[in-house]
Amino acid sequence: MKRYKILIADDHFVVREGLKLIMETNEQFQIVGEAGNGQEAIDLIDEVSPDVILMDLNMPVMSGLEAMKILKSKNCPIPVIILTTYNEDDLMIEGLSLGAKGYLLKDTNREDLFRNIESAVRGETLLQADMLEKVFAAREQQKAPTATRAEVSLLTEKELFILQSVARGFRSKEIAFDMGISERTVKAHLTNIYNKLGVDSRSQAVAVALERGILHM
């Protein structure tokens, strides 16, 4: 059985220890490094070669978002899962736009933690519906962007439906069943969506569509 290597970046010792205790209950995962800020996380990557990074957003010296920007500029393929709290909605949106594969509350349960990591190592983006509802609610309280006619018509009706389903946390298999099409067709539509929006992941597609006012929840 392949063991997946995890790097935890969080400036709170208690959070790191709690995650380690949970991870130790599953032989599939191995903690290979701990960082107290974004710079330490970047410095550790070459040394420990993690399969997934659990990244806090607010850290001293260098924040998780700053670290993610550097990783993106280097085309680093290692998936990042954001560790967040209930009052970081705007930061979470920015993290998604930087390509985060998912996000977890720091008091997340064991099942959600493992499910998010498993999705990330498969190259998938797992967007939890309850967390997204909170993000979208916060966005609605701000001045909503108005999409131009060209932007509105950028995506087809099917593509909009698929992107909205992705934003609500549905996977390709579930979307395919709901639409009565094959999973391969759903993935082909997603590729078209990525190309039209100039992104390369589900999380980025959702974030960009929200920012442009193309997608409304």
* Nearest in space to 118 (alpha carbons), one of 81, 83, 165, 85: 81
Give the CATH number, domain containing residue 8: 3.40.50.2300
Q: Residue 15 above 80 pLDDT?
A: yes
> 109 or 54: whose pLDDT is higher?
54
Q: Residue 22 above 70 pLDDT?
A: yes
Q: Residue 167 above 90 pLDDT?
A: no
* Residue 63 shares a structural domain with residue 164: no
* Residue 36 shares a structural domain with residue 94: yes
What is the residue whose two structure tokens read 């992104």? 199
List the helix and strand counts (H, then E) for the chain.
11, 5
* Residue 17 shares a structural domain with residue 87: yes
Query: Which of 6-15, 77-86, 126-135 ranks highest by mean pLDDT?
Result: 6-15
Cα separation of 34 and 16, whole Å? Answer: 8
* Nearest in space to 72 (alpha carbons), one of 40, 101, 92, 47: 101
pLDDT bucket at 208, cuts 50 / 70 / 90: confident
Intra-chain end-to-end CA distance of the chain, in Å:
40
Question: Which region, left, alpha or beta, applies to residue 112 given φ > 0 means left and ψ of -120 to 50 means alpha?
Answer: alpha
Q: What is the mean pLDDT of residues 169-181?
A: 88
What is the residue whose two structure tokens read 């934003």? 167
Q: Is the pTM of this model over 0.75?
A: no
* Residue 122 shares a structural domain with residue 160: no
* Residue 120 shares a structural domain with residue 46: yes
> 191 or 154: whose pLDDT is higher?
191
Q: Residue 95 above 70 pLDDT?
A: yes
Q: What is the mean pLDDT of residues 111-118?
A: 87
What's the domain range around 163? 145-212
Q: Residue 213 above 90 pLDDT?
A: no
- What's the domain count of the chain? 2
Least confident of 71-80, 82-91, 175-184, 198-207: 82-91
Return the pLDDT at 12: 93
Give the CATH number, domain containing residue 197: 1.10.10.10
Return the pLDDT at 142: 54
Q: In what order do the strands lie in the sheet containing 102-105?
A: 29-35, 4-9, 52-56, 80-84, 102-105
Cα separation of 205 and 122, whole Å? Answer: 18
